[in-house]
Chains A and B, each alone.
Chain A
Amino acid sequence: MINIQDILETINMIKEENLDIRTITMGISLYDCAGDDIDVVCNRIYDKITGCAERLVPVGCEIEKELGIPIINKRVSVTPISLVGGRYSSEDYVKIAHTLDRAASTLGINFIGGYGALVQKGFTNNARNLIDSIPQALSETERVCSSVNVASTKAGINMDAVALMGEIIKKTAYLTKDKESIGCAKLVVFANVPEDNPFMAGAFHGVGEAETVINVGVSGPGVVSSAIRRTGNCDFSTLAETIKKTAFKITRMGQLVATEASRRLGVPFGIVDLSLAPTPAVGDSVAHILESMGLEKCGGHGTTAALALLNDAVKKGGVMASSHVGGLSGAFIPVSEDAGMIDAVSCGALSLEKLEAMTAVCSVGLDMIAIPGDTSAATISGIIADEISIGVANTKTTAVRVIPAYGKGVGDSVEFGGLLGYAPIMKLSDSSCEEFIARGGRIPAPIHSLKN
């Protein structure tokens, strides 16, 4: 029998606390789209994506209506494009980007991920050409998301790739300068990238994945935050227990939606990603969860500890609720997409240095951070190198998605609108790392990568 209290609790979570399924992402392999003629390849890619995901949006809407839970995004991730066989130039890759954009538009989805490369140990010719094409591809398309994995705990850090990505990010910012350098909001640099992540902009369909797969990302910072407030003045054990129980309930919803979507689409279920993903909406903030634990402002002393507790408890609660957990699975701390983070940066409580420390205990990394437009490529590479080192040394995923907003400086802000939100420009250190970045080569893998 369904208990009335349970019904009211669920409805309250959805109606008042912004509980939703953030995304149903269909992964599609593009290996069999390889060919010698780029136009043939583009046609194959278009046909494969629009064929496999034809029913993704209608089925998503159907589940949304039947269960009464909002499913915010339906998206597609594809094989990293640099791995689709053939010999392609940068111009060819831009054509593929346009094809992906067109397929996404046909399907009625807002983002398609996978325009990327895995170069943790070195560049293939294709990977190099693809990375070179990123600025143009992101400036000429609307829905294409790009990610590049430049390091792993096993391989170490490809510092040539780190140096190159600094320049690519600068160029992308310039080419999209008329739209607040928004191209950079769709470009992520990773260490230890997960191959089944359903969240954009870093989603792609990994090399060991099946032909097609359904991955689901849940959300619900508002639900966790309200549960903590209701618990009141309790000790840390009780606090962790409250978060665990809430995460369990949220994840069960994700598992249900994933199973249903997989059944109705006839596509295997992959994973549920346990990440708490915020939005700029009021009551949907990870920063506010930390503040509800007793911090005056996110970014003050105690923030890293609070985030570590949150991240751990979310995983412990979520892992039992789902048959397969994967993706990033941890709390997200993007600045522009989180009302509490924006506030904390605006009032000076949250600095870039503190954000970097916070990324050591949660997914994902320095995410959606606007920096001055005149930041040098070497400095951006320095930011990437620091963040990526945290991931490599701690055997975890880290990433960098910074926006050097063209023509803007500290005190200004950028406004992307929608889920991407708004961000004040953050101050960086003035000292140069040019010589360090210019060394080139690879930083060796850490000793604890040798586990065999």
Chain B
Amino acid sequence: MKAVITVVGQDAKGIIATVSTKCAQAGANIEEISQSVLKEYFAMIMVIDISGLSLPFTAFVDEMRVLGEANGLDIRTMHEDIFNSMHKI
């Protein structure tokens, strides 16, 4: 089972480290990262494997959101099903 994390916000040092540390602590394995900085904005999309999560997925979604708020970032974590159902026939 996979999920997609999107991170958007003002560019700052250590954003990738902050997010990936949290993922590691929760038992999520990062499979892919795509990241870019446009002017001062930072945008990152991560695909993670959530089969080994040490906490319920909904709790992980909340923790990532709170982590985002604490760092001035918009962090969304969504199950891959929504993208697959919408874009694949």
Query: In the complex, which residues 35-89 of chain B have their Cβ closer than 8 Å to any Cβ of chain A?
Result: 45, 47, 57-58, 61-62, 76-87
Which of A4, A9, A66 is in CB contact (< 8 Å) with B34?
Answer: A4
A255 proximal to B (CB < 8 A): yes
A7–B85 CB distance below 8 A? no
Question: Whole-angstrom distance from the CB of B66 to the nearest CB of chain A?
Answer: 13
User: Could you tell me if B57 and A2 are in contact, using CB atoms closer than 8 angstroms?
Assistant: no
- B84 with A2: CB separation less than 8 A: yes
Are A68 and B77 in contact (CB-based, < 8 A)? yes
Is the beta-carbon distance between B86 and A10 smaller than 8 angstroms?
A: yes
Q: In the complex, what's the smallest C-beta–C-beta distance from B60 to chain A, in angstroms?
A: 10
- With a cutoff of 8 Å between Cβ atoms, the chain A residues found around residue B84 in the complex are 2
Q: Is A62 an interface residue (CB 8 A)?
A: yes
Interface residues of A in 320-350 (CB under 8 A from B): none
Residues 1-59 of A at the B interface (beta carbon under 8 Å): 2-4, 6-11
Q: Do A6 and B86 touch across chains, with their CB atoms under 8 A apart?
A: yes
Residues in A neighbouring B57, C-beta threshold 8 A: 66
- Smallest Cβ-Cβ distance to A253: which chain B residue: B86
Instruction: Give the Cβ gap from B64 to chain A, nearest Cβ, in Å.
Output: 11
Asked if B77 and A252 sit within 8 Å, CB to CB, the answer is: no
Instruction: Given A65-B58, A65-B61, A66-B61, verify A10-B82 contact (CB < 8 Å).
Output: yes
Query: CB of A155 within 8 A of chain B?
Result: no
Contact A2 B34, beta carbon cutoff 8 Å: no
Q: Is the CB of A2 within 8 A of B83?
A: yes
B56 CB to nearest A CB, Å:
9
User: Does A67 touch B at the CB level, under 8 Å?
Assistant: yes
Are A68's CB and B87's CB within 8 A?
A: no
Q: Determine if B6 is an interface residue (Cβ-Cβ < 8 Å).
A: yes
Q: Within A385-412, which residues are at the interface with B (CB < 8 Å)?
A: none
A69 at the interface (CB under 8 A from B): yes
A69 touches B58 (CB 8 A): no
Residues of B close to A3: CB separation below 8 A? 87
With both chains docked as a complex, state the minimum distance between the C-beta of A1 and any C-beta of chain B, in angstroms.
8
Cα–Cα distance between A3 and B58 once the two chains are bound (Å): 24
How far, in whole Å, are A8 and B86 apart by their CA atoms in the complex?
12
Contacts A6-B87, A10-B86, A253-B85 given: A62-B58 contact, CB under 8 Å? Answer: yes
Question: Are A65 and B62 in touch, CB under 8 angstroms?
Answer: yes
- In the assembled complex, A256 has its CB within 8 A of some CB on chain B: yes
Query: Among A6, A65, A255, A260, which residue has its beta carbon within 8 angstroms of that of B83?
Result: A6
Q: Is A249 an interface residue (CB 8 A)?
A: yes
A6 CB to closest chain B CB, in angstroms? 4
Instruction: Considering the complex, give the chain A residue whose CB is closest to the CB of B4.
Output: A7
Question: Contact check: which of A7, A67, A69, A255 meets B6 at CB < 8 Å?
Answer: A7
B83 touches A256 (CB 8 A): no
Q: Which of B47, B62, B86 has the most chain A CB within a 10 Å cutoff? A: B86
Q: Are B82 and A67 in contact (CB under 8 A)?
A: yes
The answer to whether A67 touches B77 (Cβ under 8 A) is: no
CB proximity of A13 to chain B, nearest CB, Å: 9
Given A11-B76, A67-B78, A68-B77, residue A2 in contact with residue B4 (CB < 8 A): yes
Residues of B within 8 A of A7 (CB): 4, 6, 45, 83
A6 proximity list for chain B (CB < 8 A): 83, 86-87
Chain B residues with CB below 8 A from A67, complex form: 78-79, 81-82
| Contact partners of A62 in chain B: CB under 8 A | 58
Cβ of B85 to closest chain A Cβ, rounded Å: 4
Contact B47 A68 (CB under 8 A): no
Contact of B79 with A68 in the complex, beta carbons under 8 Å: yes
The 9 A-B pairs with the shortest beta carbon distances in the complex, nearest first, are A68-B78, A256-B85, A6-B87, A67-B82, A65-B58, A252-B85, A66-B79, A249-B86, A252-B86
Give B residues with C-beta under 8 Å from A: 2, 4, 6, 34, 45, 47, 57-58, 61-62, 76-87
Write 27 A-B pairs (CB below 8 A) sorted by A numbering. Answer: A2-B47, A2-B80, A3-B87, A4-B34, A6-B83, A6-B86, A7-B6, A7-B45, A10-B86, A10-B87, A11-B6, A11-B76, A11-B78, A65-B61, A65-B62, A66-B78, A67-B78, A67-B79, A68-B61, A68-B77, A68-B78, A69-B78, A69-B82, A249-B87, A252-B85, A252-B86, A253-B82
Task: List A residues at the B interface (Cβ < 8 Å).
Answer: 2-4, 6-11, 62, 65-69, 249, 252-253, 255-256, 260
Given contacts A6-B87, A67-B82, A255-B85, 5 further A-B contacts (CB under 8 A): A2-B87, A10-B86, A65-B58, A68-B61, A260-B81
